[in-house]
Structure 1
Amino acid sequence: MGIRVTEVSVPAFGVQWQTTPGDKATAGRVIGYLEDRRVLFGWRHRGDEMHCVRSALEIRRVLTEQLDLAQPGKDLSRSLRAMRAACRKFVEAAGPDASNFSRRAANTNAFALPSATYVPPWVSI
């Protein structure tokens, strides 16, 4: 658990603070939130493009919120920022109205970023 100074008063010196959740609590909240995000799990189908873009935008919002509220330590902060950057990259790759994903060939993973070659374990090649 951390402490965030919220007010310092002078001349009768005084300090007010809030406690902030520790890295373990923050990481637990983030993992719990991510467990249920549609964009992260399962094979996507045609028509899911905008739902997944919205999901990535919502993930970015939650990660930013956790970075601001919890003030995580250096390692956790770096990880949360990297996840937020990955969401931004996904949204940018989607293009307007997810049009870049919906133009992919019907037999490919429409949501794969150009460098990704993920194939779910239940799909045989």
Structure 2
Amino acid sequence: MKFKRILQSVTGVSTPIFGIQWTPPHWASDLAEETLVYLSDKRVLFNRFDMEDAGHCIQSVDNVRNHLERQRGKLQGNKELDKSLAAMQRACRRFMDYVGHPKYSSLEKPIQESILENELQRLRSSIGKQVATLSISFGVDVEDELASIITFNNIENA
């Protein structure tokens, strides 16, 4: 999905828009794009809930969290980019706090499935907001599957 379409269709993103007011450094745009390309390959962020398994989700979310930490290590003081990456890391940690908790595996299967679905929704919502922020702030297009976790306005005749 083109970032301009995301810009036109998203509300609630508080970020500088590049142009007259702000032009992101080239390296920051590259880092944002690299992050979004990485996330676009993470099925845990957009697969149907019935196709997910807690063990695989935990592993994938942990990989995402670690990748985001490495990305943050490459920052050169860009607070806008760091803010988004940190927010995604927090969402990953929150997911791990619930689904990765030692007591999770001792719960009955329907309860586990409910928790997994609920926490996947929260994770996807949180990361979706940051995907929109990165796309809009740094002028980066987003793969359609990943764009599916962005909360868009209800637009008639879109």
User: Fold match, TM over 0.5?
Assistant: yes
Deviation sequence 1:92-119 (CA, Å, 0-9, x none): 1111285288743588573312985x9x
Deviation at 1:23, TM superposition (A): 1.0
Q: Which has the higher contact order (CA 8 A, sep 6+)?
A: 2
1:15 alignment partner in structure 2: none
Question: 1:67-94 CA distances to partner (integer Å, 9 max, x unpaired)?
Answer: 0023351111000000000000001111
Give the aligned length: 98
Cα 1:100/1:68, change in 2 over 3 Å: farther
Matches within 5 A, 1:39-58: 39-45=44-50, 48-58=53-63
Which amino acid in structure 1 is aligned with residue 116 of structure 2?
Answer: A
Work out the CA distance in 1 between the residues paired with 2:43 and 2:80. 26
Structure 1: runs of 5 or more not aligned? 1-20, 121-125
> Where does structure 2 lack aligned partners over 5 or more consecutive residues?
1-25, 125-147, 149-158
Instruction: Note the C-alpha offset of 1:65.
Output: 0.1
Larger strand share, 1 or 2: 1
Letter in structure 1 aligned against 2:96: V
The structure with the largest helix share of the pair is 2
3-state SS of 1:70 partner: coil
CA contact (8 A) 2:62 2:92 kept: yes
The letter of the residue matching 2:110 is R
Aligned position for 1:91: 96
Question: 51-60 vs 36-45, which deviates more?
Answer: 36-45
Query: Which amino acid counterpart does residue 64 of structure 1 have in structure 2?
Result: E
2:118 alignment partner AA: A
> Post-superposition, which runs of at least 4 consecutive aligned residues in structure 1 deviate over 6 A?
none
- 2:112 pairs with 1:110: no
2:119 partner SS: coil
Task: Provide closer, same or farther for how the CA distance between residues 82 and 101 of structure 1 changes in structure 2, counting only shifts above 3 A.
Answer: farther
Percentage identity across paired residues of the two chains = 29
Q: Distance in 2 between matches of 1:27 and 1:114?
A: 23
